[in-house]
Structure 1
Amino acid sequence: MPGKVAGPPTERFNVAYIDPDGSEIRRPLSEAWAVRFESVMPVRGFHSYKGQRHLPGLWWSSTVGGHIGYESWLERDHVMLLDFDPLVTALSSQPFWLFWAAENGKGISHAPDYFARRQDGSAIVVDCRPADRRKPRDWVKFEATQKACDLLGWEFQLVGMPDPTLVANVRWLAGYRHPRHRLEPVASTLRNVFTESRPMMDGAGLAGDPIAVLPVLFHLLWQHELAVDLSVPLHAASLVSPEVA
């Protein structure tokens, strides 16, 4: 985890978050390095109302074993991709408010969409916004969030529409992300079948009845215990390989 950030640059920022016990906490950015933002509660809710443009909801994350909120389908796609990322070990939505003052003294605030923690302890802060919908006032907030993340040694990602083929493939695998699809001895048999690359359906047939085997295969692909090229649409002849460490 990055060391504590000290000095004048962080004094212009403050963060506010909701602790897992429900208490609201506000502190200087210089103290935020020690907070486990991957475990905090959302600083704002995911409300639905008649006529709204975006469709909020909850994504069940296999990474955290619980639900992560999203405010739009774009956010849903990105939380799904974070959930699929084997390097991400924990994540949260709407993790904190970032507060700072503009040059004219006016207070500004922004709540990023996601916070994710990687295996190596590094952190990612994610904002989701289509490229054609980033207005000047949005850029002010994104650039300030980038500066705050730089001060803490965090990575900041401003993401737009992801690759549609990747999203479609991962969404299909996500349907089998729950541990209930990990059935033995089918999972072990599949890992043995795919010790060398072979077409998906051929390997499934070698492991047993494809109707029973394929859900387990898709789960292993979601878990990255087996690998397949997701840059092209999945199909019966897609080559499945052992996952390279």
Structure 2
Amino acid sequence: MKREVNNQPVRDIGVRQRSVRGTVPKMGQYESTLERDLMELIRFNPSVHSFLAQPLTIEYRTAEGEKRKFTPDGLIHFKEGKSLEPSVLYEVKFRSDFRKQWKILMPKFRAAKAYCDLRGWRFQVFTEREIRTPYLTNIKFLWPFLDRIPSASASDRLISALEKLGEATPESILTHLAESVARRVELIPVLWHLISVNKIGCDLETPLCMASRIWKLED
């Protein structure tokens, strides 16, 4: 099922502090490098059904009774499955900005949480602590291999060998399959492609390297 993108946010993308404007392919525009990095995480996630940038505006009142509006940065809907995740309405903030602006931000976030509670969604604030992790580094590395479709025979060789071994590392499986360095080099892109499309399992929460633990995933 295709992941959907809302190309018409409810608020304009403007210039602001820390603003670095651009577009993530198939996702939409971003306003900061942190927002861009989160979009990269979202589009790599196979559980995501659709994503909408600046999806809606929430009206709320301050403690003084003044009317205010808040437009969160994005909304993620997930595919239906055995463990259905609730949709996530989110805001992206650098931790330093959050600390400086928390008095202004907290009423907005409380209004967003109340809005989500009524719909069975979840509201979350993403900072660099949640976004800029080894997982982000790994998927940035794997992206170029995602669409590099290898031959079926090369893929089958790797998967079959890994199935027999049960568990291995990139270095050990390549050594097992090919004696020459040249042949191993040819198989490396195949291995990274199979990891990127979830044919081969790997802990992407830790730095990916030739000594990483890998295994065959169930179809």
> TM above 0.5, one fold?
yes
1:198 counterpart SS class: coil
Do 2:198 and 2:217's aligned partners in 1 also have CA atoms closer than 8 Å?
A: yes
Please point out which of 42, 45, 49 is paired with 1:82.
42
Equivalent pairs counted in the alignment come to: 200
1:175 counterpart SS class: helix
Do 1:40 and 1:95's aligned partners in 2 also have CA atoms closer than 8 Å?
A: no
State the match for 1:132 in structure 2: 96
Listed as ranges, the gaps of 5+ residues in structure 2 are: none
The alpha-carbon deviation at position 238 of structure 1 amounts to 1.2
d(CA) in 1 for partners of 2:79 and 2:11?
Answer: 27
Calculate the aligned-residue CA RMSD, in Å.
2.7
Residue type at the aligned position of 2:212: S
The change in CA–CA distance for 1:147 and 1:89 in structure 2 (over 3 A counts) is same
1:1-245 aligned within 5 A:
39=6, 41-46=8-13, 53-60=18-25, 66-120=26-80, 122-134=86-98, 135=101, 136-161=103-128, 162=130, 163-177=132-146, 179=147, 181-185=148-152, 186-195=154-163, 196-204=166-174, 206=177, 209-243=183-217
Higher helix share: 2
1:183 counterpart SS class: coil
TM normalised by structure 1 equals: 0.70
Q: Deviations over 1:49-70 (max 9, x none)?
A: 9xx632222222xxxxx23322
Residue type at the aligned position of 1:56: R
d(CA) in 1 for partners of 2:197 and 2:12?
Answer: 30
d(CA) in 2 for partners of 1:216 and 1:99?
Answer: 50
Q: Deviations over 1:170-227 (max 9, x none)?
A: 22122333x3x12221333332232222111332452783433323322322222211
d(CA) in 1 for partners of 2:199 and 2:93?
Answer: 32
2:145 counterpart SS class: coil
The alpha-carbon deviation at position 127 of structure 1 amounts to 1.1
Q: Identity rate of aligned residues, in percent?
A: 24
